[in-house]
Amino acid sequence: MQFEENIRVAIRGLIEHKFRSFLTMLGIIFGVASVIAMLSIGEGAKRSAIAKYKDLGVNNIIVRDKQFTDEELEEVRAKFSQGLSLNDAKVIQEIIPGVTKVACQAELTTDVKQADKSARSTIIGITPEYIQLLNIELEKGTFINEDHYNRSLKVCVLGAGVAKTLFQHMNPLGKMVKVDDQWFEVVGLMKSKTLFTETVGELASRDMNTDIYVPLSTYKSRFTQENSLSSEVQQITVQVDDSGKLLEIAELIKGVLQRHHFNNEDYSVVIPFELLKQEEKEREIYNFLLGAIAAISLLVGGIGIMNIMLATVMERTREIGIRRAIGARKSDIMSQFVTEAVAISITGGVIGVILGVSLSLSITFLTDIDTYIRAYSVIIAFGFSVLVGISFGYLPAKNAANLKPVDSIRYE
Amino acid sequence: MLIEIKNLYKNYFMDDVEVEALKAINLQIKQNEYVAIMGPSGSGKSTLMNILGCLDTPTQGQYLFRNQDVSTLDDDSLSAMRNKEIGFVFQNFNLLSRMSAAYNVEMPLMYAGIHKNERRERALKALDRVGLADRVEHKPSELSGGQRQRVAIARALVSNPGILLADEPTGALDTKTGDEIMLLFHKLHEEGNTIILITHEQEIANFAHRTIHIRDGMIHSDSPNDPILVKQKMSSLILR
């Protein structure tokens, strides 16, 4: 019951000195807002990183054909390497333990036409294992499967971007598109994918919405290489059963390819999982810094509160004397002033939460940086503000409680 | 016997000098007495008042209140004494200026842990007793000096204390208002309260039924006031 009274008196005090209370709260407001903004930026970064790597497959090792100039290619061919091939994939699958599946893809960029519409697209010829290795999300229809592959059917699956350009909002399934100079039937439509704009390791960034998938068998028979020196496939994706073995298996793959390519390093081996871990580590340092800033501002905020409370106690010496004279115990005075300090810090905390959340949302809205607000960050930030109030209100409250009633009641 | 002080001494330190504020004080006060404690400034009357009011403890000797030795009580117990047995009335009222009269009067009950509704009821009754039933929500700044002192008296009364301890209660008031307050004290005395008045004014001390003179930390004299004079004083007041 007296708790209620304390709160009422505390709030009344806050309202009476609005400006002063606000200044006192600034440190807390800033501290809490920055904790929330920082945690949400961190969470957003983590999520987009995970999404990014999910597309590449966390249990995958990606072997990529290196982009060489024609001279370099000639050199490498002269040294007996044919570049990445289906055979490489076969060997990797058969020899290396811990490898579950292997998929190959060949790529070429060309125009795709439908009626009067045209789009520039990357045609990707794939083996049927593809769907099991990589994050394929279909909007409609089916993906390239074994049947398509075995029968070298002229079927394709459109990326969301290509489909939109060629078909607008019409259903593309069953329709024909002209890929390069060949007609293909559309059997599937991909869901729209978020771009990842940074390169991942040596994988160049790409807008996967402009991809079109066709069976590799069809690709080989229907499309002629522009460049006769090009490798048979541009990428081999290898899936392993245990992500703990990724580094080990990557070394084995490098060994196999070294032998089969006669020591020509015309490929690169990328482990998305390792890159993800590295990014996480870098982020940790960043997060730690931001956390330190947030902690410091909360500390400064707390000191501000303590400062004001100390002055307030001085100001109200006589009031404290009166309360003691009519029967308040030391603990009553303590709880009164701690409550006042906590009232300031909680109010600051609430404003800080609102500010922090708005800040995070505006950041996402105005820039490319993703943020993601989780309930726990709000709770933590708020909890800290309460803690600050209690800790920094303690000393002034103790001072107030220890004032001698005899003296303080005569204080002018 | 309500109050018994036995061989009481009080010393305190002013800078580095030890001051003997009270020496060998012996006195007794019965229930429903009306006592004035008089003395010049520096005589020790304020110190005695602080000890009587449990704001301070003696260096030596005993202070028995209702036969309980309060001189050795700890801080929390002393606070409880002040809350329940002592009703202070100060020269400068000592009200909380930002709260209403009712709130000010409720405060001792708050610290006693009394529930809101009962607090309110008792506060309103106390304010009625001092004649301020129509000013309960006013803040001190909206009240005259005399009215403020009445609020302070209501606050002193609200927990039914053993004694009302008034320190120069009319010091900040003009003569007419001061007389009104002394009339109120008279009424409260008639109603059974024990009143201890601290003053340096003879005029005010004459309202009491017994006067204790303090000088240089010791009791100089302790004798009843002439009852005829007291009666005269009261009649003249009532007539005015």
pLDDT tens readout for residues A65-97: 888 888 887 888 888 788 888 888 899 889 888
pLDDT at A111: 87
Asked whether A35 and A382 are in contact (CB, 8 A), the reply is no
pLDDT at A37: 84
Q: Is pLDDT above 60 for A197?
A: no
pLDDT at A204: 65
Chain B residues with CB inside 8 Å of A16's CB? 98
Q: Which long-range contacts (CB under 8 A, 24 or more apart) does B233-239 make?
A: B233/B206, B233/B207, B234/B186, B234/B207, B237/B179, B237/B182, B237/B183, B237/B186, B238/B183
Residue A370: pLDDT band with limits 50, 70, 90: low
Question: What's this model's pTM, rounded to 2 decimal places?
Answer: 0.72
Chain A residues with CB inside 8 Å of B96's CB? 319, 322
pLDDT digits (tens, 9 = 90+) for B126-170: 999 999 999 899 999 999 999 999 999 999 999 999 999 999 999
Q: How far apart are CA B199 and CA B196, in angstroms?
A: 10
pLDDT at B50: 92
A contact test, residue of B110, B164, B167 with most A CBs within 10 A: B110
Q: Please give the tally of structural domains in chain B.
A: 1
Query: Cα distance from A348 to chain B (closest Cα, Å)?
Result: 24
Q: A330, B75: Cβ pair inside 8 Å?
A: yes
Query: Cα distance from B87 to chain A (closest Cα, Å)?
Result: 8
User: Which of A322, A326, A406 minimises the CB distance to B50?
Assistant: A406
Q: A16, B53: Cβ pair inside 8 Å?
A: no
Strand pairing partners for A267? A65
Query: Cα distance from A4 to chain B (closest Cα, Å)?
Result: 10
Least confident residue range of A218-232, A271-285, B51-65, B140-154 = A218-232
Q: Is pLDDT above 90 for A290?
A: no
Query: Cα distance from A17 to chain B (closest Cα, Å)?
Result: 13
Q: What are the extents of the domains in chain A? A: 2-52+278-408, 67-265
Overall average pLDDT of the A388-393 stretch:
87
Mean pLDDT (10-residue bins), chain B, 240 residues? 92 86 93 94 89 92 93 91 94 91 94 92 94 92 94 95 94 92 93 94 91 93 88 78
Which residue segment(s) compose the domain that B7 sits in? Answer: 3-239
Q: B79, A322: Cβ pair inside 8 Å?
A: no
Asked whether A207 and A156 are in contact (CB, 8 A), the reply is no
pLDDT at A244: 84
Q: How many CB atoms lie within 10 A of CB A250?
A: 20
Running DSSP on this structure, what letter comes out for residue A19? H
Residue A230: pLDDT band with limits 50, 70, 90: confident
Instruction: Please tell me if residue B80 touches chain A, with a CB cutoff of 8 Å.
Output: yes
- Short-list A302, A315, A324, A297, CA closest to A394: A302
Q: Which residue in chain B has the smallest CA separation from A13?
A: B98
Query: Cα distance from B104 to chain A (closest Cα, Å)?
Result: 10
pLDDT at A195: 65
pLDDT at A267: 87
SS3 assignment, position B80: helix
Chain B residues with CB inside 8 Å of A8's CB? none
Q: What tokens were used for A94?
A: 């058969």
Instruction: Please tell me if residue B120 touches chain A, with a CB cutoff of 8 Å.
Output: no
pLDDT digits (tens, 9 = 90+) for A335-364: 888 888 888 888 989 999 999 889 888 888
A contact test, residue of B79, B83, B165 with most A CBs within 10 A: B79
Q: Is pLDDT above 60 for A326?
A: yes
pLDDT at B209: 93
pLDDT at A8: 82
User: Which of A5, A12, A326 minimises the CB distance to B88?
Assistant: A326
Chain B residues with CB inside 8 Å of A1's CB? 110, 113, 115-116
- Helix, strand, coil percentages (3-state) for chain A, rounded to 5, are 60, 15, 25
**CATH number for B79:** 3.40.50.300
Compute the mean pLDDT over every residue in chain A, rounded to the nearest whole number: 84
Query: Cα distance from A23 to chain B (closest Cα, Å)?
Result: 22
